Amino acid sequence: MGSVLGTVIAVLVVLILCFFSVRSMVKDKKAGKSLQCGGNCKNCKGCH
């Protein structure tokens, strides 16, 4: 029973971290930020 409980706790921790990571990316996307664009237009080389 102890190893099952440890596995369940580990899976829950990973799921919680994934949830907050995805939530952060969604909030950034809605705010106009993205992984590709730092929002510094004057230094943009026009790659996209």
d(CA 8, CA 6): 5
In degrees, rounded to 5, the angle at the alpha carbon of residue 27 between the alpha carbons of residues 26 and 30 is: 85
Question: What does the pLDDT look like over 3-47, one tens digit per residue?
Answer: 899 999 999 999 999 999 999 988 887 877 766 666 666 666 665
pTM for this entry: 0.62
